[in-house]
Amino acid sequence: MRIGMVAPPGAGKGTQGALIAAHFNIPHICTGEILRDHVNRGTDTGRVVSDYLDRGELVPDEVLCDTIHQALSDVIAAGGDYVLDGMPRTMDQARAIHRVSSELGMAPDVVLHLKADDETVRQRMLARAAVEHRSDDTEPAIRRRLALYHQMTEPILAWYAFRGILVTVDATRTAAEVGREILAVLEVLRPVIRNVPEKMRRPVDLTMLTPAMAQGS
Ligand code: ADP
């Protein structure tokens, strides 16, 4: 399966991405991890992006290109399936991914939206800061990352919903609960998704079920 992910920082993309990759035995392309790895190794790319990461800014698209190039080769070598985590973050990136992946016959089958409110993810990132010491889990960088998410990334959701490939899950629950729901949905979709004509695909918002069912009971 080819799976994309859109989520605010701290919603659990990394955790769920790793779970999905292990379950389906597909590559997990995590742009944030790749960039942090460059910083840790002190590469030229690492030197360019380090300041952007610390401030919670988006790194320029030219820099991302290199990163993606390598990741794409890994994906092709692994048969074309993937779980993509951390990209797209802007409408431009979404259009670029759509163009390139469609040309290669590798457009995402499903895009998961891990939905979580700002306060929940802010608390998670501050808690993570105490353990992992990520340079961007500081109050000002978190504020900036959330602002950029709302301004630049969130509009992509409507675009994927319109294409009928968006699946929204409530990511404020425990990682195990979220993971169970994601794997269940993906396992159901997997055998059929590519047989559903594009025009007949519909977005699914699983977060709507909780209040709707509570009302009905
Ligand atoms: P989070 O989603 O929790 O902020 P990530 O590990 O996905 O964490 O990303 C960390 C940082 O890496 C971002 O704040 C940004 O600086 C950079 N980054 C990752 N992916 C992209 C991207 N697609 N475009 C621009 N910058 C990116």
In tens digits, the chain (217 residues) has pLDDT values of: 999 999 999 999 999 999 999 999 999 999 999 999 999 999 999 999 999 999 999 999 988 887 777 788 888 888 899 999 999 999 999 999 899 888 888 999 999 999 999 999 999 999 999 899 889 999 999 999 999 999 999 999 999 999 999 999 999 999 999 999 999 999 999 999 999 998 999 999 999 876 656 665 5
Instruction: Answer whether 203's CB lies under 8 Å from 115's CB.
Output: no
Cα of 58 to ligand 1 centre, how many Å?
6
Mutation pick for ligand 1 pocket among 35, 49, 92 (CB with most ligand atoms within 8 Å): 35
For the chain, the average pLDDT equals: 93
Provide CB contacts within 8 A for 139, sequence distance 6+: 126
Work out the number of other CB atoms within 10 angstroms of the CB of residue 70. 11
> Residue ranges per domain, the chain?
2-216
| pTM for the model | 0.93
- The ligand 1 site (C-beta within 6 Å) comprises 9-10, 13, 31-32, 35, 52-53, 56-59, 64, 86-87, 89, 93, 136, 145
pLDDT of residue 77: 86
Is-contact 19 185, C-beta < 8 A?
A: no
CA distances from 100 to 4, 74, 90, 96, 151 (A): 14, 15, 15, 6, 24
Q: Which atom of ligand 1 is nearest to the CA of 88?
A: 23
CATH number at 2-216: 3.40.50.300
